[in-house]
Amino acid sequence: MRFMTYGFGLAAALAVFWFAMSGETSPLFLGLSVIAVLATLWISARLKVVDRDGSPYLRVLPLMLYTGWLLGEIIKANLAVVTRIVGIRQSIDPAMMEIRTGTRTSLGKALFANSITLTPGTVTVDVDGQVLKVHALVRENAGADSFTDMDRRSSRAADIGGKGRD
């Protein structure tokens, strides 16, 4: 049942990816693409990995929206770090903190942890269950509430379809 639900979307995503990478329309390349997509679907079905987490088409729009928001946050963090480093009065006061995430899936945790690391001035050091250990360049901006919006948005982008699983 899972394969029927998600297999067609995965096949479409694979076909689009193949065409985007090759750009070829000759019968030979189109035939090879069909063979490659069918072989990939067969292997995926045998490994039982065709499920909600393996179907990228459900997350395309939410991830694109999240990426746009994250780019804005990265720009703001870059400016804050530059002014902190170059500024005369402001100093760096590093801190290590633990942040609890509300996301339900491994993908959501990975997206949240990587988003923190991509944001200048912060690095995710460890992920243990629902708790992330984060090093921040500035102690005053290192509260758990500083990452609440990012956690909520990354969770919404990654945990599509209601109930998540780990």
Of 53 and 61, the one with more pLDDT: 61
- Condensed to tens digits (0 to 9), the pLDDT of residues 10-34 reads 888 889 988 999 888 899 999 999 9
pLDDT digits (tens, 9 = 90+) for 98-147: 999 988 888 889 999 999 999 888 999 999 999 999 999 887 767 778 89
Between 146 and 74, where is the model more confident? 74
* Confidence class for position 161, pLDDT limits 50, 70, 90: low
Q: Which carries the bigger pLDDT value, residue 12 or residue 91? A: 12
Q: Whole-prediction pTM value?
A: 0.69
Question: What backbone phi and psi angles, to 5 degrees, belong to 129?
Answer: 65, -120
Contact predicate 62/156, CB 8 Å? yes
73, with CB counted inside 10 A (0-12, 13-18, 19+), is middle
Mean per-residue pLDDT over the chain, rounded = 85
pLDDT score, position 56: 60
Q: Calculate what percentage of the chain has a pLDDT beyond 70.
A: 88
Residue-level pLDDT at 106: 84
Residue with the larger pLDDT of the pair 57 and 120: 120
